[in-house]
Structure 1
Amino acid sequence: MVPVIYGVLHRVIPPVARTVWRPTVIGLENVPPTGGVILASNHLSFADSVVIPCVVPRKVVFLAKSDYFTGSGVKGTLSRLWFEGLGMLPVDRDDSKAAIASLDTALEVLGRGEAFGIYPEGTRSRDGRLYRGRTGVAHLALTAGVPVVPVGLSGTEKLQPVGSSLPRVVPVTVRFGEPIQVAGRYDGVPLGRARREVTDEIMTAIQRLSGQVEAGAYNARPE
């Protein structure tokens, strides 16, 4: 059922979204057309997980809050169908065990030769700065042996600001950098060091694409 919903929505939503918002897309040729790949992006808005799949011609799987999949009634059903149709998978962000299990889910996605989207900062930047990356992205890349395509978003924080119920028509730019290859580069290197170096390399690439000021610290979810 989910693949059918995804196929229908993906034929409708991206063309409509691109027609309305006309995002500027740079470097799309850097996204491999097939095979497992990680799209690692900065995170400015709830809308980021819709913008990226709308401009990439292949399916991109993101993790989304489990709350979006568990609502009741018509609204809950429509929410679940919407997020499933966009290729998103549920994760309970308040459960540490579930968060770890989500990495296994991501590895399954990559093992199927699909594209997996991730925000190394962990949560949305509320001040526009780029926060330090967490090493989950490096764990996925090193374990799966897949390339990482850095993504720099700009303007999405104005697309649907916190508190607004409807998206706005504003300039949005999506930049895709050259793939970062990690397979075989860290053989014999202590795992913790390898993960940190790969993550820092990815974040440096994202910063160059987004132009954000670096915060120099980890981001934290609001209480």
Structure 2
Amino acid sequence: MMETYTASTKSQSQFTNTCVNTTYVNTSVNTKVVSSRSKVSSWLSPLVYYLGRKIVLPTFFGKINITGQENIPKSGPILLAPTHRSRWDSLLLPYAAGRCVTGRDMRFMVTSSECKGLQGWFVKRMGGFPVDTQRPAIATLRHTVELMVQGEMLVIYPEGGIYRDGKIHPLKSGVTRLALTSESIHPGLEIKIIPVGINYSQPYPNWGTDVNLHIGEPIKVRDHINGSLKKDAKNLTAYLTNKLQELSHKKSEINAHDLRKITNNSQISS
């Protein structure tokens, strides 16, 4: 069970004011104030991750190539910012960077529509919490800061939706704004944004599809704070976009190795 962080009155006021002044919260549209908490089930999470890691993913996919796992810190607040190409992404990320690799569970910011029905039941017990992308609640925004203060690993898809054309679509500034705000309110958190490029060999993954996950080097948020949140968020978003583009077009070293092996064998045979 996650411990609840209670910010000081000054910090809460500063956060609310920062949100209002930088369009995190638009009071003119009667922004909701609702409870938003995430948790990781002590029994369901290990079971789901075990089945996914040992049975579901290896059976469904062809090759799963992962690079850059050494870039993920074992402690401290992290914002994973992956490209979004399929619903499989949220199973592959724990496979590549979850508790079996780093000893850490993940929290996921997901759209409200994904937290309904049976799917929502699982999502809410696997570290997911909903956000209304049109009218984000103050509690939801504050909760992301709490997760950073607690040193959690939070996943936010900066493109927003799923895109299957292999291109990087304009990133939402929410990821960088939340990271910059959290670091500003609580100096010394050392928040890191880690870009992750996810690519499938087919736009709609099916049986035998190959997948590549390239985990980039951490981006230190504090190095991008220069005094103007709006400008800093714009610059950091552009920087993150470039990193995701690099990772999305990175060729698989395993595939390249296999290609050379096949070529060499063909030459020997001939």
Q: Which whole-Å CA distance do the structure 1 matches of 2:88 and 2:47 have between them? A: 20
Displacement, 1:122?
1.7
> Over alpha carbons, which structure has the higher Rg?
2
Whether 2:218 is the aligned partner of 1:179: answer yes
How far does residue 96 in structure 1 lie from its aligned partner after superposition?
Answer: 1.1
CA RMSD for the aligned pairs?
A: 2.4
Identify which of 53, 56, 81 aligns with 2:94.
Answer: 53
Q: How does 1:139-178 map to 2 (within 5 A)?
A: 139-145=177-183, 146-155=191-200, 158-160=203-205, 167-178=206-217
Q: Deviations over 1:169-215 (max 9, x none)?
A: 3100000011011215424x321110100111111001000029xxx
Aligned partner (choices 109, 114, 133) of residue 63 of structure 1: 109
Give the superposition deviation at 1:8: 2.8
Give the letter for the 1:69 counterpart.
C
Q: Do the aligned partners of 1:41 and 1:150 also contact (CA within 8 Å) in 2?
A: yes
Closer, same or farther in 2 for the Cα pair 1:102/1:126, shift >3 Å? farther
Native 8 Å contact 2:198 2:214 kept in 1: yes
Moved more, 48-57 or 199-208: 48-57
Q: 2:165–2:203: 8 Å Cα contact kept in structure 1?
A: no
The one-character-per-residue Cα deviations of 1:149-176 (angstroms, maximum 9, x if unpaired) are: 111111076454xxxxxx5331000000
Contact 2:199 2:248 in 1 (8 A): yes
Q: Which amino acid aligns with 1:59?
A: D
Which of these residues, 162, 165, 169, is aligned with residue 124 of structure 1? 162
Q: C-alpha separation between the residues in 2 aligned to 1:9 and 1:183?
A: 35
Structure number with greater CO (CA < 8 Å, separation at least 6) is: 1
**How is 1:1-223 mapped onto 2 (pairs within 5 angstroms)?**
2-4=40-42, 5-20=44-59, 21=61, 22-57=63-98, 58-71=104-117, 76=118, 79-93=119-133, 95-98=134-137, 101-145=139-183, 146-155=191-200, 158-160=203-205, 167-187=206-226, 189-211=227-249
The alpha carbon displacement at 1:62 in A equals 1.3
Q: Distance in 1 between matches of 2:204 and 2:73?
A: 27
- Structure 2 distance, partners of 1:156, 1:97, is 35
User: In structure 2, what residue type is equivalent to 1:41?
Assistant: P
| Offset of residue 83 of structure 1 | 1.9
- Kept in 2, the 8 Å contact 1:44–1:157? The answer is no
Scaled by the length of structure 1, what TM-score is found?
0.77
Equivalences, count: 197
Contact 1:9–1:85 (8 Å) recurs in 2: no
Query: SS of the counterpart of 2:154?
Result: strand
Residues 59-112 of structure 1 show CA distances to partners (whole Å, capped at 9, x for unaligned) of 2211223344332xxxx3xx234323432222344x4134x6533332222222
Does the CA-based 8 Å contact 1:47-1:156 persist in structure 2? no
Match of 1:215 in 2: none
CA contact (8 A) 2:41 2:126 kept: no
What's the secondary structure of 2:219's corresponding residue?
Answer: coil
Which stretch of the first structure deviates more once superposed, 195-204 or 133-142? 133-142
Q: Displacement, 1:18?
A: 4.5
Deviates more, 1:109-118 or 1:169-178: 109-118
Q: Which amino acid aligns with 2:136?
A: K
Instruction: State the distance in 1 between where 2:140 and 2:204 align.
Output: 28
Instruction: Tell me, in whole angstroms, the C-alpha distance in 2 between the residues paired with 1:38 and 1:101.
Output: 18
8 Å Cα contact 1:149-1:177 kept in structure 2:
yes
Structure 2 letter corresponding to 1:119: Y
